């Protein structure tokens, strides 16, 4: 029978009460409210997919997505709470770097033991062990105790031992993430050779680059659920886009939390209103550019001679892209005032940016506000896209 994996309706739950685990899980499986009240959490929830012989599958997802739990169930180290799991074929797994290695034995002795446990004939052991040693590429360190190895060296040794056992199904959980590029290329070639022989290889990684290089199919897990299953490149791009959006939402929330009044001369302040329009190219600005208009309402408790307004633009990682300052002459009497800021001629590369606005008087910062903008541009540069292609000029007026 050809090697295969079939998973149908797989769920794995962990209740707070160990003594009544099965009863708690069965009782609360379909009721989220009752499940949360009972302290039942799901590592996997209703997962179904099949893997045929010769497939190279990547598993991707954030920490806590359920990837390692799924691998442990496939190896038999954990049992499903519900659902069916069928694994047909001789299975070898690398789930934890160095977990199967004997620390006080040398690398050579570990590989010899692995070859013997795999059932290679005694007369073939020296040749098989030498092939493993050559693949690991540890040079003279092969005769050092494994306890002296780095994580990358242990990964090489573990992978060499697993690949030469000639498994029908090989599971790898992040073992390749600590290896160097040369070893990763060698491992990729070995994985492809296994699959050409009809074997199944399943790789867990946080790296989309690793998945797309080594796999032809990818499964994306998130919070224990299967989000997407398809070609590795397509799933990888969708996953990266989702991670970017998640990061951007967090940054937007962070930018809004910057809103604060810092001086008793301002007793009330609105959020920062942002208006983006596209301006056509002109002689002064030889490319289409966004027109940025910002506004906010302030309530002054005391008169001020003038207000200084500073606008800065940051990339989402905090890199300062542009900063400029303008003055709104006064005097400004107590009461409500609307401030409008125009930045009509500047050009940013496509992406999301943080807007920071500082309002000062007499050298003291009165208030700060934050917001976020998205720039979309179809302009293509031959030698890389500049982050800021045109300086930013401001004009300020009372509303």
CATH code, domain with 46: 3.40.50.300
Backbone angles phi, psi at 135, to 5 degrees: -65, -40
Continuous segment of H or E residues that includes residue 58: strand 56-60
Query: Is residue 242 in a domain?
Result: no
Q: Rounded to an integer, what is the distance from CA 14 to the centroid of its chain?
A: 25
pLDDT at residue number 385? 46
Based on the fold, state whether residues 221 and 271 are members of the same structural domain.
no
Based on the fold, state whether residues 378 and 270 are members of the same structural domain.
yes
Q: What is the pLDDT of residues 359-388, one digit of tens each?
A: 998 888 988 888 877 776 655 544 444 455
Based on the fold, state whether residues 323 and 218 are members of the same structural domain.
no
Query: Phi/psi class of residue 279: alpha, beta or left (left: φ > 0; alpha: ψ in -120 to 50)?
Result: beta
The rounded distance, in Å, linking the Cα atoms of 145 and 150 is 11
Q: What is the pLDDT of residues 129-161, one digit of tens each?
A: 898 899 888 889 999 999 898 878 888 888 888
Based on the fold, state whether residues 351 and 213 are members of the same structural domain.
no
Q: What is the pLDDT of residues 290-333, one digit of tens each?
A: 677 888 888 999 889 889 988 888 876 677 878 888 888 888 89
Based on the fold, state whether residues 216 and 297 are members of the same structural domain.
no
Based on the fold, state whether residues 224 and 266 are members of the same structural domain.
no
List of the chain residues with pLDDT < 50: 18-20, 30, 35, 37, 381-386, 389-390
Contact residues for 365 (Cβ-Cβ < 8 A; gap 6+): 262, 263, 358, 359
Based on the fold, state whether residues 300 and 213 are members of the same structural domain.
no
Query: Is residue 17 in a domain?
Result: yes
Count structural domains, the chain.
2
Q: Rounded to an integer, what is the distance from CA 259 to the centroid of its chain?
A: 28
Based on the fold, state whether residues 119 and 8 are members of the same structural domain.
yes
CATH number for position 267: 2.70.50.60
For residues 206 and 177, is the Cβ–Cβ distance under 8 A? Answer: yes
Q: Among 318, 326, 313, which residue's Cα sits nearest to residue 372?
A: 313
Based on the fold, state whether residues 267 and 179 are members of the same structural domain.
no
Query: Is residue 37 in a domain?
Result: yes
pLDDT at residue number 191? 77
Query: Is residue 144 in a domain?
Result: yes
Based on the fold, state whether residues 302 and 222 are members of the same structural domain.
no
pLDDT at residue number 252? 61
For residues 241 and 352, is the Cβ–Cβ distance under 8 A? Answer: no
Q: Which residues pair with 210 in a beta bridge?
A: none
| Mean pLDDT (the chain, rounded) | 79
Query: Is residue 228 in a domain?
Result: yes
In which domain, by residue range, is 357 found?
258-398
pLDDT at residue number 286? 53
Q: Is 273 exposed, middle or buried (0-12, 13-18, 19+ CB in 10 A)?
A: middle
Query: Is residue 243 in a domain?
Result: no
pLDDT at residue number 219? 95
The rounded distance, in Å, linking the Cα atoms of 236 and 242 is 10
pLDDT at residue number 274? 83
Based on the fold, state whether residues 279 and 196 are members of the same structural domain.
no
Q: Among 276, 270, 271, 245, which residue's Cα sits nearest to residue 347?
A: 276
pLDDT at residue number 254? 60
Based on the fold, state whether residues 218 and 292 are members of the same structural domain.
no
| Omega cis (within 30) before 331 | yes
Predicted TM-score (pTM) of this structure = 0.58
Query: Is residue 376 in a domain?
Result: yes
Query: Is residue 272 in a domain?
Result: yes
């Amino acid at each position: 029978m050809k090697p295969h994996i079939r998973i149908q309706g797989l769920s794995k739950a962990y209740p707070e009460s160990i003594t009544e685990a099965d009863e708690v899980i069965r009782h609360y499986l379909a009721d989220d409210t009752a499940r949360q009240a009972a302290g039942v959490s799901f590592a996997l929830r209703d997962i179904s997919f099949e893997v045929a012989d010769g497939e190279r599958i990547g598993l991707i997802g954030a920490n806590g997505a359920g990837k390692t739990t799924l691998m442990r169930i496939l190896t038999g180290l954990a049992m499903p709470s519900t659902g069916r799991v069928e694994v047909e074929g001789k299975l070898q797994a690398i789930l934890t770097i160095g977990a199967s290695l004997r620390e006080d034995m040398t690398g050579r002795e570990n590989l010899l033991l692995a070859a013997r446990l795999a059932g290679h004939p005694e007369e073939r052991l020296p040749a098989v062990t030498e092939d493993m040693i050559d693949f690991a590429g540890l040079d003279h360190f092969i005769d050092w105790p494994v306890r002296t190895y780095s994580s990358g060296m242990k990964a090489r040794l573990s992978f060499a031992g697993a690949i030469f056992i000639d498994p029908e199904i090989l599971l790898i959980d992040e073992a390749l993430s600590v290896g160097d590029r040369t070893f990763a290329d060698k491992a990729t070639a070995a994985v492809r050779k296994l699959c050409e022989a009809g074997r199944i290889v399943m790789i867990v990684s946080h790296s989309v680059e690793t998945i797309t290089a080594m796999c032809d199919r990818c499964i994306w897990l998130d919070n224990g659920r299967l989000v997407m299953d398809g070609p590795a490149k397509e799933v990888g791009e969708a996953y990266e886009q989702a991670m970017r959006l998640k990061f951007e939402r967090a940054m937007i929330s962070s930018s809004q939390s910057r809103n604060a009044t810092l001086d008793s001369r301002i007793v009330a302040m609105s959020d920062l209103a942002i208006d983006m329009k596209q301006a056509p190219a002109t002689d002064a600005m030889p490319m289409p550019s966004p027109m940025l208009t910002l506004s906010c309402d302030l309530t002054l408790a005391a008169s001020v001679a003038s207000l200084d307004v500073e606008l800065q633009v940051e990339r989402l990682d905090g890199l300062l892209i542009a900063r400029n300052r303008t003055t709104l002459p006064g005097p400004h009497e107590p009461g409500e005032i609307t401030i409008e800021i125009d930045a009509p001629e500047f050009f940013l590369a496509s992406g999301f940016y943080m807007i920071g606005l500082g309002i000062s008087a007499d050298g003291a910062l009165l208030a700060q506000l934050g917001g976020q903008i998205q720039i979309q541009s179809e302009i293509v540069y031959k030698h890389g896209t500049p982050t800021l292609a045109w300086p930013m000029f401001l004009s300020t007026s009372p509303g």
